[in-house]
Structure 1
C-alpha cells in the first residue's frame, strides 16, 4: 500500500471519528436541554411577560427592576429589590424560533422602558473605572460607548430552578449573573457577572399573582 493510500485512509478515519464525537456531543446537549417552565410548571412562551423572582425555598429579596445608580442620570441599571414579596417589573423573553429551552440564547427586556433611552433590552456593561467588573444594564450598545460588552444571555438550570448566564461571542465562555451587595444602595442590589455565584430565580406569570 503506497503512502498516498495510507494518508487517504487516515484522513477518512479521522473525519468519521470526529463526526461521531461531534454528533455524540450534540445529542448529549439536545437530550439535556429541557423546557424552561414557570412556577406553575408551564413552559415559558417566547414573547411572554413574566416576573422574575427568587427561588421559593430562599429568602433572597423580591423581583427585578431598572433604576438609577451612582452618578447615572438615567434608569439603566438592573437590580433585585431587597423587599421580600415585591414582584418588581415585568420582563419579556424572546428567542428566534421555537420553545425556550435551557441553554437557548434569549433576548431579555423589561416590558416598560426608561424614558431616557430607546430600549429596555438587557446588556452587560463594563464598569467605567474597573474594566474587570461588569454589570447588567438596559439600552442599546450606543448608550454605553466604550463600555458595552458583546455577548448573549441564556437561561440554565440551577437545582430545581434557574439562573441567568452571559456568554461571550461564541457561546462557550459563559459567566453566571448574581447580585452585588452595594452598601450605597439600601433597598436593592445590582446584578453583576459573578463566576459561580448565580442568582437562583423562578418565573411567574401575572395571572398567577
Structure 2
C-alpha cells in the first residue's frame, strides 16, 4: 500500500520536528554550544540557596580530595571541567545521545586521574568521584555520562555500560555531606545545572 505524497511528507515533518525538540546541541549560559576541550563551570540553574559550583572535597576520612561535591555557597564557581567524547566524533555535544567523559581541568597530585567515575562502595548511594583503580579498586562502575534537557537547564546522567534493559541511565542528584553536597546517583531528584564558560566568567 502506497501512502499519498502529502501524508508521507507530514509523517517525515512530524518525525523531524520530534527529533529537533528532543535532541539538541547543549549550550552554555551565553547560548553558545559547549564543545569537547572547552572549559566550563557546572553550576545550579537557579542562583541562590541552591548552592554554588562543583568541585572536589575530602570525605571518608581520606586526606585526598576525590569526592565530587557541590559547594553550599552560591558565590563559589567551583572547578572547571572539560567534556570529552570517546572515540571518533564530530565534536558536537547533543542532549541524550552523546556519551561523555567529564574531567576536572586541575588534578590533585594524590590521584592518577581527574576523570569523573561512579563508585559503589557501601555508601548509601553510588557517588561521583575521581581517580582510578588505585584509589577505588573494583568499586568503580563501568559507563559514561550524558546530558539531558531538564527544567530551566540540564541534568547530568550516568549510563552504565551494561544494563537491563539496555540503555538505562541514572540521574545525578545531591546528598548532603560534611563538606558539601555529594553528587550521587538518584531516581527522583536530579541536580538541575547550567554550564558557564570558564574563560569568560568573572563571578
TM-score bin (small chain):
0.7 to 0.9
| Aligned pair partner of 2:93 in 90, 96, 100 | 100
2:119 matched to which residue of 1?
125
Q: TM-score, normalised by structure 2?
A: 0.81
2:184 aligned with 1:189, yes or no? no
1:164 matched to which residue of 2?
156
- Supply the distance in 2 between the matched residues of 1:65 and 1:155 (Cα, whole angstroms): 18
Q: How does 1:37-186 map to 2 (within 5 A)?
A: 37-56=27-46, 59-96=49-86, 97-98=89-90, 99-103=92-96, 104-127=98-121, 129-130=122-123, 133-170=125-162, 172-182=167-177, 185=178
Give SS of 2:158's match. Answer: strand
Q: Which runs of 5+ in 2 are unaligned?
A: 1-13
After TM superposition, the runs of 4+ consecutive aligned structure 1 residues lying more than 6 A away are: 24-27
Give SS of 2:170's match. Answer: strand
Q: How many residues align?
A: 181
- Supply the distance in 1 between the matched residues of 2:131 and 2:17 (Cα, whole angstroms): 36
Q: Which runs of 5+ in 1 are unaligned?
A: 1-23
Is the 2:99–2:144 Cα contact (8 Å) retained in structure 1? yes
Bigger proportion of residues as helix: 1
C-alpha RMSD of the superposition: 2.3
Classify 1:94/1:51 alpha carbon distance in 2 versus 1 (closer, same or farther; 3 Å): same
Q: TM-score, normalised by structure 1?
A: 0.79
Cα deviations across residues 65-84 of structure 1 (Å, max 9, x unaligned)?
Answer: 11211212311000000001
Q: How big is the shift at 1:28?
A: 5.7
Cα deviations across residues 23-49 of structure 1 (Å, max 9, x unaligned)?
Answer: x99996576210100001000011100
